[in-house]
């Protein structure tokens, strides 16, 4: 287990000293720095199951908390408190671990009699019944939409939007450097690296984004090499999986989950992988799940990855013809004699219009009718069976069809899916989720409306929506207003430290995956169909934070077997005359900016030295492997 760096020394630290100059004050050299703020359970043992977070009750959130995480707490001054000031702030400002998310159950309905009662319960929508708009909204309830982040509107290009936003003053400042290059990389990758920064500065923001939005033309040699340890993850059919693994063996699903880690750490197609993660949560099928041994990997290949930057309508229709989805949401047990509403309901609530779409229980029932006949065979293929399809007139929201012939049931269902995919409520629902992903936990409604309008005008195409998002000033003004979820923090740590594939990738990926279970966020491991929460308050947990800190030590100290772990003394290669300047160089290497003087002095106090102490050894006499993780424990690494 990685070393825990706590001290019980209660002695008070000296008053913070003013820095004599900070290296790399403006990291990219392209834009001036903004004004800085003044100081002011255990994972289960069985592989494949994850501890399910529980939501923590709380009172009204202060104004600064509403955006995501934009302020530092005052530095506490003994050695134990110094560590808490650097890392604990991330918990107070949004958290890093498991143990706080709730799965809100929905009341059971009473069957046909309930949904057919004239003006009764069947005509009451979940929205009218007081349900939250979505699960993430349950965490941010009462915070409202932040219609003023300090800048808004649309520029001609992303770089022009970045310049305009830099001229504005954020309403909710963050401790993070507002450098647009770093902000872009924090949001469009799983964590900046030195190579990423150099690539954006060489290409420019606009060209880099255009390149990332065309992933097929980006070579990906490191990730491809790492994925040789998970050979089933590119298999596009159940037949291929069945030929590779034993019946009912979850090996392929575990390989898929481990491949997620490899791709997020080492893929050069970072924005594509961010969107794959987004859609895997939107159309969530947990991995592993009972019945997915031969179908879950092809679902990832044929539905999520194939359409991640395509049209949502194509993705939705593909998911509705996928055997993994049919099994996961019980459509295999739904037929005209015994209709299972599970898939029909989630189509409305989670996949398309959302609770705010205004559907009611009669709509849910008719949605389920339309999907009857779609099933998965025993050999893991999708099949439409006419004899199982319910016939008769159906109406869901504004979609109506006579639905007279079972032989036409598949085509009728596809027409219904197209209706849902292009519905204005679906446009708003997906637009809001994208704004939450890329901007802040409670995004401005004007931004959501702008994205939704583009979604409808483009026929549900994803890339035009992303292009408008990156041209929006709201995106660029929101630096630091998102908190990294546990898996994101874990991956960002590996990326910034420079961990590379090594000699035993199968073992390494297994160990990395098992550690993410301790964090409470194993890849693809969320059991309910609504996907992992994407707001900070869902992840507030001291236990999760401690495991995240342990991960920082494991990466810096090279504790992952089978990987190529750079030595800690390679983190600081630039000569530094004093300890104060040495720490500035180290921080710029790991968090891409110097810390505030008070926080830097806390690290100096931890080392038992003074700012002016002369540095003669880049490894600090063996102390660097214990010092560098403290930098990663800080709020600067916790935010994105």
Q: Select the more confidently predicted residue: 93 or 594.
A: 594
| Long-range CB contacts (within 8 A, 24+) of 612-615 | 612/578, 612/579, 612/580, 613/578, 613/579, 614/577, 614/578, 614/579, 615/576, 615/577, 615/578, 615/579, 615/581, 615/582
pLDDT over 60 (residue 344): yes
pLDDT over 50 (residue 38): no
Query: CA 301 to CA 104: how far, in whole Å?
Result: 30
Count of residues in the chain = 640
Task: Give the pLDDT score at 125.
Answer: 62
Task: Give the pLDDT score at 337.
Answer: 95
- Name the least confident of 65-69, 95-99, 497-501, 529-533: 95-99
Averaged pLDDT, 190-195: 98
Closest of 183, 223, 181, 180 to residue 202, by C-alpha: 181
Task: Give the pLDDT score at 54.
Answer: 35
Task: Please give the C-alpha separations between residue 398 and each of 227, 393, 459, in angstroms, as whole numbers.
Answer: 45, 13, 18
How do strand 394-396 and strand 399-401 relate by DSSP bridges? Answer: antiparallel
pLDDT over 80 (residue 548): yes
Strand partners, 614: 578
Three-state SS for 69?
Answer: coil
pLDDT band of residue 99 (cuts 50, 70, 90) is very low
Query: CA 356 to CA 368: how far, in whole Å?
Result: 19
Query: CA 506 to CA 523: how far, in whole Å?
Result: 16
Averaged pLDDT, 481-486: 97
Instruction: Enter the pTM of the model.
Output: 0.82
CA of residue 152 relative to chain centroid, distance: 24
pLDDT over 50 (residue 8): no
pLDDT over 70 (residue 544): yes
pLDDT over 50 (residue 25): no
Closest of 388, 416, 384 to residue 401, by C-alpha: 416
Task: Give the pLDDT score at 40.
Answer: 32
Query: CA 324 to CA 318: how far, in whole Å?
Result: 11
pLDDT over 50 (residue 241): yes
**Structure tokens belonging to residue 168:** 């504005």
pLDDT over 60 (residue 17): no
At 492-518, the pLDDT tens digits run 999 999 999 999 999 999 999 999 999
pLDDT over 60 (residue 58): no
Closest of 263, 364, 374 to residue 324, by C-alpha: 374
pLDDT over 60 (residue 207): yes
How many CA atoms lie less than 13 Å away from 98 in the CB half-sphere?
21
At 120-179, the pLDDT tens digits run 456 666 666 555 666 676 666 656 556 799 999 999 999 999 999 999 999 998 999 999
High-pLDDT (> 70) share of the chain, %? 77
Q: Which residues, at least 6 apart from 512, have a Cβ–Cβ distance to it below 8 Å?
A: 258, 261, 490, 560
Averaged pLDDT, 265-279: 98
At 313-329, the pLDDT tens digits run 999 999 999 999 999 99
Which DSSP category does 383 fall into? E
Query: CA 87 to CA 606: how far, in whole Å?
Result: 14
Averaged pLDDT, 389-400: 98
Task: Give the pLDDT score at 599.
Answer: 94
Query: CA 408 to CA 171: how far, in whole Å?
Result: 55
Task: Give the pLDDT score at 132.
Answer: 63
At 607-633, the pLDDT tens digits run 999 999 999 888 999 999 999 999 999
Query: CA 376 to CA 386: how far, in whole Å?
Result: 13
Query: CA 398 to CA 358: how far, in whole Å?
Result: 11
At 364-376, the pLDDT tens digits run 999 999 999 999 9
- Name the least confident of 13-22, 447-456, 575-584: 13-22
High-pLDDT (> 90) share of the chain, %? 74
Query: CA 243 to CA 252: how far, in whole Å?
Result: 11
- Residue 450: burial class (beta carbons within 10 Å; 0-12, 13-18, 19+): buried
pLDDT over 80 (residue 21): no
* Ordered alpha helix ranges (H), 221-250: 221-226, 238-244
At 281-322, the pLDDT tens digits run 999 999 999 999 999 999 999 999 999 999 999 999 999 999
Query: CA 301 to CA 307: how far, in whole Å?
Result: 9
How do strand 374-376 and strand 563-564 relate by DSSP bridges? Answer: unpaired
Task: Please give the C-alpha separations between residue 79 and each of 5, 396, 441, 607, 622, in angstroms, as whole numbers.
Answer: 10, 61, 33, 10, 19
Task: Give the pLDDT score at 147.
Answer: 78
**Structure tokens belonging to residue 256:** 């898929």
């Amino acid at each position: 287990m990685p070393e825990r760096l706590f001290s019980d020394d209660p002695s008070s630290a000296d008053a913070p000293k003013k820095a004599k100059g900070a290296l790399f004050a403006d990291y990219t050299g392209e834009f001036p720095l903004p004004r800085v703020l003044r100081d002011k359970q255990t994972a289960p043992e069985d592989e494949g199951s994850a501890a399910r977070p529980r939501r923590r009750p709380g009172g009204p959130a202060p104004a600064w908390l509403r955006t995501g995480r934009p302020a530092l707490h005052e530095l506490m001054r003994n050695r134990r408190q110094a560590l808490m000031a650097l890392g604990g702030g991330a918990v107070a400002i949004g958290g890093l671990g498991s143990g706080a998310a709730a799965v809100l159950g929905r009341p059971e309905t009473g069957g046909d009699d309930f949904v057919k009662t004239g003006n009764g319960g069947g005509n009451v929508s979940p929205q009218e019944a007081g349900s939250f708009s979505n699960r993430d909204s349950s965490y941010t309830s009462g915070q409202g939409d932040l219609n003023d982040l300090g800048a808004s509107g649309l520029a001609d290009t992303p770089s022009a939007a970045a310049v305009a936003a830099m001229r504005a003053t954020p309403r909710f400042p963050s401790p993070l450097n507002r450098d647009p290059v770093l902000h872009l990389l924090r949001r469009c990758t799983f964590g900046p690296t030195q190579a990423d920064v150099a690539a954006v500065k060489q290409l420019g923001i606009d060209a880099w984004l255009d390149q990332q939005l065309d992933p097929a033309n980006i070579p990906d040699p490191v990730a491809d090499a790492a994925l040789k340890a998970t050979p089933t993850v590119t298999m596009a059919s159940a037949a291929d999986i069945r030929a590779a693994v034993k019946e009912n063996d979850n090996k392929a699903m575990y390989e898929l989950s481990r491949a997620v880690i490899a791709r997020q750490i080492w893929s050069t197609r970072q924005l594509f992988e961010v969107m794959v993660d987004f859609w895997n949560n939107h159309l969530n099928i947990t991995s592993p799940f009972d019945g997915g041994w031969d179908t879950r990997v092809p679902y990832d290949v044929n539905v999520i990855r194939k359409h991640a930057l395509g049209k949502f309508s194509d993705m939705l229709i593909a998911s509705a013809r996928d055997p993994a989805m049919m099994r996961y949401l019980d459509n295999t047990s739904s037929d005209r004699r015994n209709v299972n509403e599970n898939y029909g309901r989630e189509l409305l609530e989670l996949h398309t219009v959302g609770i705010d779409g205004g559907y009611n229980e009669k709509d849910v029932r008719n949605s389920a009718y339309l999907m009857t006949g779609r099933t998965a065979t025993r050999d893991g293929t999708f099949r439409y069976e006419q004899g199982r399809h319910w016939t008769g007139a159906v109406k869901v929201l504004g979609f109506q069809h006579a639905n007279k012939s079972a032989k036409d049931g598949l085509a009728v269902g596809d027409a219904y899916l197209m209706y849902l995919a292009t519905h204005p409520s679906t446009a708003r629902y997906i637009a809001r989720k994208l704004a939450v992903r890329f901007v802040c936990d409670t995004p401005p409604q004007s931004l959501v409306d702008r994205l939704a309008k583009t979604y409808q005008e483009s026929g549900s195409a994803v890339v035009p929506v992303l292009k408008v998002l990156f041209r929006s000033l709201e995106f660029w003004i929101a630096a630091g207003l998102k908190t990294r979820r546990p898996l994101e923090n874990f991956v960002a740590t590996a990326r910034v430290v420079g961990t590379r594939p090594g000699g035993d990738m199968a073992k390494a990926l297994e160990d990395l995956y098992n550690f993410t279970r301790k964090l409470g966020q194993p890849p693809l491991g969320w059991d309910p169909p609504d996907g992992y929460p994407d707001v900070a308050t869902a992840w507030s947990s001291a236990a999760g934070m401690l495991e995240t800190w342990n991960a920082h030590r494991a990466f810096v100290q090279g504790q992952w077997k089978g990987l190529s772990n750079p030595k800690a003394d390679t983190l600081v290669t630039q000569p530094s005359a004093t300890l104060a300047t040495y720490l500035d160089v180290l921080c710029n290497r790991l968090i891409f900016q110097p810390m505030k003087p008070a926080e830097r002095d806390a690290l100096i106090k931890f080392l038992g030295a003074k700012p002016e102490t002369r540095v003669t050894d880049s490894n600090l006499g063996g102390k660097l492997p214990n010092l560098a993780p403290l930098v990663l424990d800080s709020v600067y690494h916790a935010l994105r």
